[in-house]
Structure 1
Amino acid sequence: MNTAASTARQYPCDKCPLQGFAHLQPHQKDEIDFLSTFKTGELVADTGTTVLVEGANSAHLFTVLSGWGFRYKMLEDGRRQILNYVLPGDLIGLQGSLMREMSHSIEALSPMILCVFQRDKLPTLFGNFPSLAYDITWIASREEQMLDEILLSVGRRTAIERAAYLFAFLFQRAKTVGLVKGDTLVMPLRQQHVADTLGLSIVHTNKTLKKLAGRGALRWLDRGCEVLDETALLQISKWSGLSSIPRPFI
């Protein structure tokens, strides 16, 4: 595991780069003051690093400051199911903090920087900052909502609808945190990641992605996948898109 924890805060809470995005709710001054004491430092993770391990009891939880990651579970024979993807602004490790054990793992899909928070200060947050406690509840509910949609996709959408939904979903999430440039986005996904997310064989995934590429919706590059046409992906997936309501973050 290539990670490095830092107590020197390159990004203090009062100058958090996430505060500048319109789709993320800003914090009040007293909340920022508390979060500054809640945060213990930053964690830097290289691509391929396992940030959290299934079965682990973590003393920390994290907010993704930059980079991409994914949540997954493994079967004993090595088959992997990717459950969801984590992007800047996402809170991870809450399950391990509250349930005392992680039921999934999280791996860095690209170099990541994470804000590190001390688990033992959660009671203070819930007791003294009900607005932040509500935010954590909202974040957990949103994760459940996203998993509902992913389960629907795997269970009922056709292969091409599943793939189109996945890329439209990630594109819209990335757009809210400034990762989309000029209406295009390069995602650090390989075809194996897509297959492990959609529950398809790598051969079926390859054929499906070629169909999307043939419609001009995306193209594959050496370093990942470039989304070219959000509208086409939405039409193919028959998905209406994410809510425009600003979301909280910790």
Structure 2
Amino acid sequence: MPDAVAGKWHTPCAKCPLRALKHFREFSADELDFVSRFKAGELSVERGATILVEGTHSPHIYTVLSGLGFRYKLLEDGRRQIMNYAFPGDLLGLQGVLMGELDHSVEALTPITLCVFERSKLESLFERHASLAYDLTWIAAREERILDEHLLSIGRRSALERTAYLLSYIHQRGNAVAGSGGAKKIIPLTQQHLADTLGLSLVHTNKTLRRLAERRLIRWQDGGCEVLEADELLRVSGWEGLKETARPFI
């Protein structure tokens, strides 16, 4: 697990590129000052690097500044279940703050830059800024809502529907943070990532992707998946899509 880069960093909070996106709510002057002092540094890791490890106690929490990651759990025989994907503005490690020990790991899906916050100083956020404490509650509740939708997809949607849902979800989330380094025209997933998220075999995943490609809804390339017809892909999924307005981040 990489160590945090303490001290100076490359992106002052006042010039954070996420603040320019309509997807995120604006900080008040007091909130911005507090977060600027709360931030301990930045951490940049390469694709495939492990950011957080299941069963450990992390001294830090992180906000994704740019790039993509994913949360996952492993069975004893090495089988992996990807729980969710992390985009710019998402918080990593909050569970370790509240529960003491992480019950999942986090890996970088692309090169990723993280804002680093010291876990030991989180108490001051709750003491001094009720609005930011509410934001953390909102973020946790939203994560629960997303996981509910993922569970519904795995449990009740057909293979075609759940694949269309996952690609629609990642596509919409990526578009929301376009310009921050979190969105690319090509969704940078391997078919193994999809299989490990959807609970399908690699062979079944490949066949399902071919069906979507035959309808010209997606195009699969070596670097990942390109969504060609977002509205029709969403219709196939049976999902309503994201309905968020300006959301908080730390």
- Relative to the length of structure 2, the TM-score reads 0.96
**Take 2:180 and 2:161, find their aligned partners in 1: how far apart are those partners?**
22
Same amino acid, percent of matched pairs? 57
Distance 2:54 2:200 in 1: 23
Q: What is the distance in 2 between the residues matched to 1:59 and 1:180?
A: 26
Give, in whole Å, the separation in 2 of the partners of 1:123 and 1:244: 28
Is 1:109–1:188's contact at 8 Å kept on the other side of the alignment?
yes
SS state at 1:40 partner: strand
Counterparts of 1:179 and 1:147 in 2: how far apart (Å)? 26
Residues 184 and 51 of structure 1, relative CA distance in 2, 3 Å threshold:
closer
Equivalent residue, structure 2, for 1:83: 83
Report the equivalent of 1:69.
Answer: 69
Distance 1:98 1:116 in 2: 17
Question: How far off its partner does 1:184 sit?
Answer: 7.6
Partners of 2:28 and 2:180 lie apart in 1 by 28
Alpha-carbon separation, structure 1, partners of 2:242 and 2:87: 15
The SS at the match of 1:114 is strand
Aligned partner of 1:51 in structure 2 is 51
- What one-letter code is carried by the residue in structure 2 that aligns with 1:161? E
TM-score by length of 1: 0.96
Q: 1:144 to 1:51 in 2, by over 3 A?
A: same
The 3-state SS of whatever aligns with 2:137 is helix
User: Paired residue for 1:162?
Assistant: 162
Structure 1 residues 5, 184: CA separation in 2 closer, same or farther (over 3 Å shift)? closer
User: Whole-Å Cα distance in 2 between the matches of residues 5 and 125 of structure 1?
Assistant: 21
In the alignment, the residues of structure 2 paired with residue 105 and residue 96 of structure 1 have an alpha-carbon distance, to the nearest angstrom, of 11
Question: In 2 relative to 1, CA 244–234 (structure 1 residues): closer, same or farther, beyond 3 Å?
Answer: same
What is the aligned partner in structure 1 of residue 133 from structure 2? 133
Aligned with 1:231: secondary structure?
A: helix
Shift of 1:217: 1.4
Distance 1:249 1:59 in 2: 20
SS of 1:14 mapped into structure 2:
helix
Supply the distance in 2 between the matched residues of 1:112 and 1:247 (Cα, whole angstroms). 21
**Aligned counterpart, 2:35:** 35
Q: For residues 107-132 of structure 1, what are the alpha-carbon distances to aligned partners after superposition, in whole Å with 9 as ceiling and x for unaligned?
A: 00000000000111111100110000
Alignment gaps of 5+ in structure 1: none
SS at match of 1:41: strand
CA contact (8 A) 2:178 2:184 kept: no
1:190 alignment counterpart: 190
RMSD between superposed Cα atoms in Å: 1.7
Aligned to 2:95: 95
| Structure 2 residue aligned with 1:220 | 220
Moved >6 Å (runs of 4+) = none
Determine the C-alpha separation between the residues in 1 that align with 2:109 and 2:92.
15
Deviation by residue 1:27-66 (Cα, 9 ceiling, x = unmatched): 1111111001110000001000000000110111000000
